[in-house]
Amino acid sequence: MILNLPFSGDFYVRYIDYYSNKITLYDPRNCLPGRLLNNSMNLSSSPFTATYYENYTFYTCPKNADPVGYYALPIGCLSNSTNATIATSQEAPEEFEYFGCKIIGSSIIPVMYQGQFDYQGIDDDLSLYWNASDCKDCDPRPSQETGSDHSCLVHQRYGEVDRIRRAKF
Over residues 54-64, the pLDDT tens digits come to 999 999 999 88
126-138 pLDDT per residue, tens: 899 998 765 544 4
The separation between CA 159 and the C-alpha centre of its own chain, rounded to angstroms, equals: 35
102-117 pLDDT per residue, tens: 999 999 888 888 888 8
41 and 108 Cβ atoms separated by less than 8 Å: yes
- Rounded to whole angstroms, the Cα distance separating 126 from 169 reads 18
63-119 pLDDT per residue, tens: 888 777 677 788 999 999 999 998 888 877 888 888 899 999 999 888 888 888 877
**What SS3 state is found at 24?**
strand
Q: Is the pLDDT of residue 19 over 60?
A: yes
Q: How many CB atoms lie within 10 A of CB 142?
A: 7
